[in-house]
Amino acid sequence: MEFDLIERIRRRTDTQRDDVRTGIGDDAAIVAVPAGRELAVAIDTLVEGVHFPVGTSPEDIGWKALAVNLSDLAAMGATPAWALLALSTPDGSPAFFDGLADGFAQLAGSYRLALIGGDTTRGPLTVTVAVHGFTSPGEALLRSGARVGDIVMVTGTLGDAAAGLRCLGEPDVAPYAALIERLNRPVPRVSAGQALRGIATACIDISDGLVADLGHICAASGVGATIDAPMLPRSSALFSHFDDAVALDFALSGGDDYELCFTVPADRAATMTADLARVGCGVTRIGRIVEGQGVRVLDAAGNVLSPSHTGWNHFAS
Amino acid sequence: MEFDLIERIRRRTDTQRDDVRTGIGDDAAIVAVPAGRELAVAIDTLVEGVHFPVGTSPEDIGWKALAVNLSDLAAMGATPAWALLALSTPDGSPAFFDGLADGFAQLAGSYRLALIGGDTTRGPLTVTVAVHGFTSPGEALLRSGARVGDIVMVTGTLGDAAAGLRCLGEPDVAPYAALIERLNRPVPRVSAGQALRGIATACIDISDGLVADLGHICAASGVGATIDAPMLPRSSALFSHFDDAVALDFALSGGDDYELCFTVPADRAATMTADLARVGCGVTRIGRIVEGQGVRVLDAAGNVLSPSHTGWNHFAS
């Protein structure tokens, strides 16, 4: 039973990679990092009822468990290579395993990612994925490089996933499909992260909320940041269902967007916007790096706003 | 809160490794594999009530979560380098985190293992660890190399952990301390695994039980195996609390021993026993590889025994 899910995923992905010397089925996988490359490694756990609502489809769980990890690689500018998956579940049904394998494999296939190992056990529903990607020495996008005067930018739109979570309680969720899709099927910004190498001075993916995650860049870089609230990119789906104040709150502190927030020297912004457009990724200038510490949010008149809360802390919530 | 446990472990281990370019605190760690080496990677989850009993101390949980993963590296003959830890827990108390960090760090320190990343979240108590170790190309100990005529050997003694689990139900557990220690504080056979490189034809660690795990070697190698039951190494602690039949059952099918079971050509056995003695590891010849498939257990008269069950399957149990 132990390799059942793992085997189902392997059959669906079937990615042949020369760098996988021994794949699934031994005590450990044996892999080779290409000469001159370094390895980016991340791990993240999704827990039912904490990171995804009870009732989320196994397809969405499989997709999201990989997506949140690929988002960490995207934030480093790394190229995905291999993953491990550890599942604990009370549901040993073939339908559950097939669904989870489908969702995981759909996303993995986009990146020629190979599943190289894993573990399945009976227990409460939690999915842990560890991912590995390649970077060149000195090239990884860290949180610590933001400098006073840099501008702050984000990819895509913010707040949709938090709005989708709110909408799940509605009697009819059909009108909110676009928002719920952002919650359940986040698309990691892998190509965008790679395009930012050598240009962005700092980068992070937005998992806990913009204010909280930009705060991590500020803390690591020893700087502060201001955000211009009116500039925050928000989708038409968000505005069609929520008023301005709620949409702003979702954009500032809603988690699970998995967009990239990054800093660039002001004279590089135009080049960078063109680079991201080439990989199909919209980007918006939302603020700037300043002296001091922490993140301040300014309204259209330049007054400081106090968000209702500053980011979704999985542990504190 | 997210980096709380991870930070506690980092403070306790504080292993400086040149191959860790960016450690804990960014979206991913950046590490470098030494030139000419390949990477062994494994992941395992422990779930409360499945892999360790409710009431197990946080120190023992932290130790065991790393130990079972290092045991996978040991079975490949790999040298441990880095680990990631993902914890889900309902108990956010400093005492719990300190205990878990203590147990993890005690074992990590023995191997100069660096914790390079992790994730802490609220949820049911599960601990997932992913480990990375180094091997040289072609050198890893696989399950697939056993050949007819090889002899089958195991390190240490078998059955103690299963006996320890049984004893936890006793009103006074003090007399069973040695057995319970084997259950809660398994010592991965890392040095033994390294000493087997270039000698053993196949190797596995015994997590599910001897018959089940040797069965994995047989399946991967396309061979069968016979075990001579009277030869199975069992501790005096085991024999002092259990009769022969129960001790045999624990040794054949009890999980959680984390000894190595391996095969060697008959003419290499003596050298190999001396090599393992040099790293302080006892080893016992318990059987041989034969044509066919599956594992047969023979009594002193050479008759086939039927074990009461063939290995502890976490999912089926």
> Given the DSSP bridges, would you call strands A114-122 and A79-89 parallel, antiparallel or unpaired?
parallel
Q: What residues in B contact A33, CB-CB < 8 Å?
A: 33, 39
Q: How far is B4 from chain A (nearest CA, A)?
A: 10
Look up the CATH number of the domain holding residue A44: 3.30.1330.10
**Residues B6, B116: Cα–Cα separation, whole Å:** 9
Residue B290 lies in a domain: yes
The answer to whether B267 and B203 have CB atoms below 8 angstroms apart is no
| Boundary of a domain, candidates B106, B135, B164 | B135
Residue B145 lies in a domain: no
Q: Residue A235: is its pLDDT beyond 70?
A: yes
How high is the pLDDT of residue B15? 76
Q: Which residue has the tokens 């072609």?
A: B138
| Boundary of a domain, candidates A73, A102, A135 | A135
How high is the pLDDT of residue B4? 76
Please tell me which residue, B267 or B92, carries the higher pLDDT value: B267
Residues A77 and A199 both lie in one domain: no
Q: B268-307: b or e for each residue (b if 16 or more CB lie within 10 Å)?
A: bbeebbebbeeeebebbbbbbbbeeeebebbeeeeeeeeb
Nearest CA in chain B to A131: B28
Residues B171 and B267 both lie in one domain: yes
| Boundary of a domain, candidates A135, A163, A182 | A135
CB contact under 8 A, B32 and A143: no
The answer to whether A145 and A201 have CB atoms below 8 angstroms apart is yes
Residue A83 lies in a domain: yes
What DSSP line would sit under A241-304, residue for residue? HS-HHHHHHHHHH------EEEEE-GGGHHHHHHHHHHTT--EEEEEEEESSSEEEEE-TTSPE
pLDDT average, residue stretch A97-117? 94
**Residues B105, B262: Cα–Cα separation, whole Å:** 29
Residues B156 and B299 both lie in one domain: yes
How high is the pLDDT of residue B70? 98
Categorize the per-residue pLDDT at A308 as very low, low, confident or very high, splitting at 50, 70 and 90. low
Q: Single out the residue of A247, A107, A57 nearest to residue A167, CA to CA.
A: A247
**Residues B195, B8: Cα–Cα separation, whole Å:** 33
Which of A305-309, B68-72, B172-176 shows the lowest mean pLDDT across its residues?
A: A305-309
Residues A14 and A159 both lie in one domain: no
Q: Residue B89: is its pLDDT beyond 80?
A: yes
What DSSP line would sit under A119-169, residue for residue? EEEESSSEEEEEEEEEE-TTTS--SS---TT-EEEEES-SSHHHHHHHHTT
User: Tokens in use for B34?
Assistant: 């030494």
Supply the ipTM of this predicted assembly.
Answer: 0.92
Residues B263 and B166 both lie in one domain: yes
Residue A70 lies in a domain: yes
Q: What is the largest CA-CA distance in chain A?
A: 62
Residue A274 lies in a domain: yes
Q: Single out the residue of B154, B293, B124, B297 nearest to residue B235, CA to CA.
A: B154
Residues A130 and A159 both lie in one domain: no
Residues A128 and A174 both lie in one domain: no
Quote the number of domains for chain B: 2
CB contact under 8 A, A205 and B27: yes
Output phi, psi for B316, to 5 deg: -75, -25
Categorize the per-residue pLDDT at B311 as very low, low, confident or very high, splitting at 50, 70 and 90. very low
How high is the pLDDT of residue B313? 35
Nearest CA in chain A to B31: A39
Q: Residue B276: is its pLDDT beyond 90?
A: yes
How high is the pLDDT of residue A1? 41
Domain of residue A99, residue span: 4-135
Residues A155 and A67 both lie in one domain: no
Residues A235 and A299 both lie in one domain: yes
Which of A43, A50, A189, A206 is the mutation pick for testing B, counting most B CBs within 10 A? A43
**Residues A272, A282: Cα–Cα separation, whole Å:** 11
Q: Which residue has the tokens 């899910």?
A: A5
pLDDT average, residue stretch B189-214? 96
Residue B65 lies in a domain: yes
The upper half-sphere exposure of residue B130, i.e. CA atoms within 13 Å in the direction of its Cβ, equals 29
**In DSSP terms, which residues pair with B260 in a beta bridge?**
B205
Question: E strands, chain B, where?
Answer: 20-22, 29-31, 38-47, 79-89, 114-122, 126-135, 151-155, 202-205, 224-228, 260-264, 283-290, 294-298, 304-305
- The percent of residues above 90 in pLDDT, for chain B, comes to 84
Q: What residues in B contact A131, CB-CB < 8 Å?
A: 28
Q: How far is CA B8 from CA B11, B69, B142, in A?
A: 5, 20, 35
Residues B234 and B285 both lie in one domain: yes
The answer to whether B118 and B86 have CB atoms below 8 angstroms apart is yes
CB atoms within 10 A of CB B74: 32
Alpha-carbon torsion (A268, A261, A253, A56), positive or negative = positive
Q: Residue B45: is its pLDDT beyond 70?
A: yes
What DSSP line would sit under B265-315, residue for residue? -GGGHHHHHHHHHHTT--EEEEEEEESSSEEEEE-TTSPEE--SSS---TT
Q: Residue A28: is its pLDDT beyond 70?
A: yes
Q: How far is B315 from chain A (nearest CA, A)?
A: 5
How much is the mean pLDDT over chain A?
92
The answer to whether B185 and B67 have CB atoms below 8 angstroms apart is yes
Q: How far is A2 from chain B (nearest CA, A)?
A: 7
Residues A174 and A52 both lie in one domain: no
Q: Coil, helix or strand for A17?
A: coil
Option in A25, A86, A120 nearest B128 (CB): A86
A207 has binding-site annotation:
yes
CB atoms within 10 A of CB A265: 15
Q: Single out the residue of A215, A208, A210 nearest to residue A232, CA to CA.
A: A210
Cα(first)–Cα(last) distance of chain B, in Å?
Answer: 35
Helix axes B160-167, B177-184, angle to 10 degrees: 110
Look up the CATH number of the domain holding residue A173: 3.90.650.10
Residue B140 DSSP code: S
Nearest CA in chain A to B48: A123
Residues A201 and A55 both lie in one domain: no
Alpha-carbon torsion (A169, A173, A176, A177), positive or negative = positive
A98 has binding-site annotation:
no
Q: Single out the residue of B272, B115, B82, B250 nearest to residue B179, CA to CA.
A: B250
pLDDT of A59-73, one tens digit each? 999 999 999 999 999
Q: What residues in A contact B50, CB-CB < 8 Å?
A: 88, 121-123
**Residues B156, B165: Cα–Cα separation, whole Å:** 18
How high is the pLDDT of residue A283? 96
The answer to whether B88 and B125 have CB atoms below 8 angstroms apart is yes
Q: Single out the residue of B60, B66, B36, B32 nearest to residue B48, CA to CA.
A: B60
**In DSSP terms, which residues pair with A22 in a beta bridge?**
A30
